[in-house]
Homo-oligomer: A and B are copies of this chain.
Amino acid sequence: MKLQQLNYLVAIADNNLSITKAAEKLYTSQPGISKQLRLLESELETKIFERNGKQLAGITELGEEVISRARKVLHEINHIKNITNLINDSDSGRFSIATTQTQAQYVLPKVFSSFHGRYPNLTIDLQQGTSEQILSQLQKQEVDFAIASGNIDLGANIVKIPCFQWDRTVLFPHDHPLGDLKKIQLEDLAKYPIVTYPFMGNAKQSSLTDAFKKENLEPNIVFTARDADVIKTYVRNGFGIGIVASMAFSPQKDRDLLGYSTKDILPRCTTWLAFNKNIFLKKYMKDFINDFAPHISSEQLSHYIHQDYTSSLQLMHEHESDKAEDKPLPMHQMWHI
């Protein structure tokens, strides 16, 4: 006995015992329903419908009982589908995102402005932390999403979606010698003490140091801080030049500093969004992803979710190669300073 057969059954009963009508309603072929009805009747060894020749002429006493039970079954089935859809479509609850200060401060507000309007009853819980903390919270499923940058290996059970790319900006006070240069090169930066973000974990290298090393330069990093505003403060206090994410520098708000994009001299960074593969995305989560990374279609999204780890890595590498080749990217994939 199949659920479809019960479905067909009540459809026939609800359409004046017409198999043809039932087929039209269910967008399927009429012979299919006919056959399934026969199969069901022979499985139950019971005539459900009275027949006048080939045409259905009525419902057997026993058929009435069967149909009534079938309705209950289908009702329960629909209920199961509904309660799960309700959860998935729910617009209230707690939506937790672990992220870095830079994202929380400079990127997410713009996204949330429209998102929160759509889900006013949703409590958005922003967890700020180091890369390690973010990763840990994600793995323990303490948060739904993680948003960060850098090439952390998140393991097989986590989906990692590249969202947008950004460049760094060099910051220095107006009276700094770098302000006199028409074009700033890496070797210029190497001459001054640098204040920037710490490297992942306790690593001694990053894409930043690698870039210097490529030109046989040794950057003089004197301070690191996770908070772009802290870095700016140190720069203002003359501890060195700052290197921060471009979106953390606003010429209007940071008038006392000069900013110079490193897009030509330092590699581009990728911000990704990650979540556990075994959670099911509720509607507001999908909406958020769409807001945060509009270039990811829902097809691509499900592709990311269902592919395995190795191909996921490959895909990440493809995106890295995008960066390396410095291809033009669609507007929304770039962050403009």
Interface residues of A (CB under 8 A from B): 1-3, 41-42, 44-47, 51, 62, 65-66, 69-70, 72-73, 76-77, 79-81, 83-85, 87-88, 278-281
| A28 CB to nearest B CB, Å | 17
Verify A2–B1 contact, CB threshold 8 A. no
Question: How far is B84's CA from A62's CA once the two chains are assembled, in angstroms?
Answer: 8
A-B contact list, 27 entries, CB within 8 Å: A1-B3, A1-B77, A1-B80, A2-B3, A3-B3, A44-B81, A44-B84, A45-B88, A45-B281, A46-B87, A46-B88, A46-B280, A47-B278, A47-B279, A51-B278, A62-B83, A62-B84, A62-B87, A66-B83, A66-B84, A69-B77, A69-B80, A72-B72, A73-B73, A73-B77, A73-B80, A76-B76
> For A2, what are the chain B residues with a Cβ–Cβ distance below 8 Å?
2-3
Verify A47–B280 contact, CB threshold 8 A. yes
Chain B residue with the shortest CB-CB distance to A48: B84
> For A47, what are the chain B residues with a Cβ–Cβ distance below 8 Å?
278-280
| A266 CB to nearest B CB, Å | 40
| A58 CB to nearest B CB, Å | 13
Verify B1–A46 contact, CB threshold 8 A. no
Chain B residue with the shortest CB-CB distance to A44: B84
Chain B residue with the shortest CB-CB distance to A3: B3
Question: How far is B72's CA from A41's CA once the two chains are assembled, in angstroms?
Answer: 22
Verify A80–B70 contact, CB threshold 8 A. yes
Verify B44–A80 contact, CB threshold 8 A. yes
> For A73, what are the chain B residues with a Cβ–Cβ distance below 8 Å?
73, 76-77, 80
Residue from A84, A278, A281 with most neighbouring chain B CB atoms (10 Å):
A84
Chain B residue with the shortest CB-CB distance to A50: B278
